[in-house]
Structure 1
């Protein structure tokens, strides 16, 4: 595609000032373009957004960003969706909207980003209110546990109630690679091969990085959706437990 020739046809709405280095990845940039213009995510004007995205990443080089390939891959995907939108519909049957998968990924990313931000705010508030080394008293767990409905807001509140203790001085844990949900799903399943159930707190205790807690939480929700595990609490805001699902 001739991007230079395409520039001459751009309207003023395509010239958005974007500092690409401040975005975590292509979905972050794409969501910014959509929300900045108050666009309904279910009615994305794919031609305009594609032009804006291409303008934003023009001149990107691998040496400038570690994930440059992801931005270029997203650009190719947007162009493919744009081409599919131009194809005529066959008959009266309603084909799936070519934008459907993109919308799903954007909504999922926005939800994860919002949860991450809320966890960061909760962590900062906890650090402000309690001195280093403070441990909240924990009540004795009840023998009988009631099922927990896997609703995002309620489970998130339970995750926020988890206290991740500071690691001992002699321990040094450095995360050198991105945290993958698949790894956390495997961690949960491997752990439940050895025990029937485990506290969520014990799953995240070895990791100091907050993102490990977020991804472990999301992995638990995904495994619950697949009926591989069950999430339970004795009461609202009490300790969150993870159990093996039905065999």
Structure 2
């Protein structure tokens, strides 16, 4: 009996998003993926979308080819690895690495989205005067926290993958960036968001930097200012600390 494929009509952000869904659906460990099962379900999902006349982006087809290639490799007999093959990247390991990075990115991005949602709910509950007082006290901003969120979103829209240099490490943590800022502001008095983006390797790193800034502003260790509407955001060391 053929397995019934559950079709979700909501749009996945990309092939990695679909893969994470299938991994979670099958209750698999991201580091121990049953490629044969996932590859088959992935292909069946795309075939079902085709039957429904749903447009499939090229990147989904590229991932399908990658999965089938990995699956075919696993069916071949294990050969002794030569010294020349040691430096050759294992496609399965490369896929797992991409999935882990993407999963981290989604989790961090969700935290950022939750911050925005909380601010929207606060705005609905309170008057604009109360909200301004709340955000300034909590996050030590001299302008609306909601404006900062809007600035960040517009800034990220302008960025694309080619805006960032080669990624060497992409498992950044908020705690790590908090420590970075604490060391940075021992020698410097300020930095702009533009400078932070320029020194970032990826969009995920920018998100983590941003969350670290929010936390340090909440603790009143840093001040966040914007000199003019739609202008760059400046991050200062709080001289009173």
Q: TM-score, normalised by structure 1?
A: 0.54
Tell me the matched-pair count: 178
CA deviations on 1:147-180 (whole Å, 9 max, x unpaired) are xxxxxxxxxxxxxxx9352699xxxx979x7842
Q: Report the counterpart of residue 128 of structure 1 in structure 2.
A: 121
Question: What is the distance in 1 between the residues matched to 2:69 and 2:46?
Answer: 17
Higher helix content, 1 or 2 = 2
CA deviations on 1:119-142 (whole Å, 9 max, x unpaired) are 1111111222245472514769xx
Q: CA deviation at 1:234?
A: 9.2
Q: Report the counterpart of residue 222 of structure 2 in structure 1.
A: 239
Q: CA deviation at 1:74?
A: 0.6
Q: How does 1:55-74 map to 2 (within 5 A)?
A: 55-58=44-47, 59-60=49-50, 64-65=54-55, 68-74=57-63
Aligned mate of 1:83, from 69, 72, 87: 72
RMSD: 4.7
Question: What is the distance in 2 between the residues matched to 1:46 and 1:64?
Answer: 25
Q: CA deviation at 1:98?
A: 3.9
Question: What is the distance in 2 between the residues matched to 1:68 and 1:111?
Answer: 23
* Residue aligned with 1:198, SS: strand
Q: TM-score, normalised by structure 2?
A: 0.55
Q: Report the counterpart of residue 113 of structure 1 in structure 2.
A: 106
Q: Report the counterpart of residue 49 of structure 1 in structure 2.
A: 38
Aligned mate of 1:24, from 13, 30, 34: 13
Stretches of structure 1 that go unaligned for 5 or more consecutive residues are: 1-9, 141-161, 187-194, 205-212, 222-232, 243-247
Stretches of structure 2 that go unaligned for 5 or more consecutive residues are: 167-187, 198-202, 211-215, 224-234, 237-241
Question: What is the distance in 2 between the residues matched to 1:185 and 1:235?
Answer: 30
Q: Does 1:180 align with 2:175?
A: no
121-130 vs 89-98, which moves further: 89-98
Question: What is the distance in 2 between the residues matched to 1:102 and 1:113?
Answer: 16
Q: Would you say the 8 A contact 1:199–1:239 is kept in 2?
A: no
Question: What is the distance in 1 between the residues matched to 2:164 and 2:41?
Answer: 35
* Residue aligned with 1:22, SS: coil
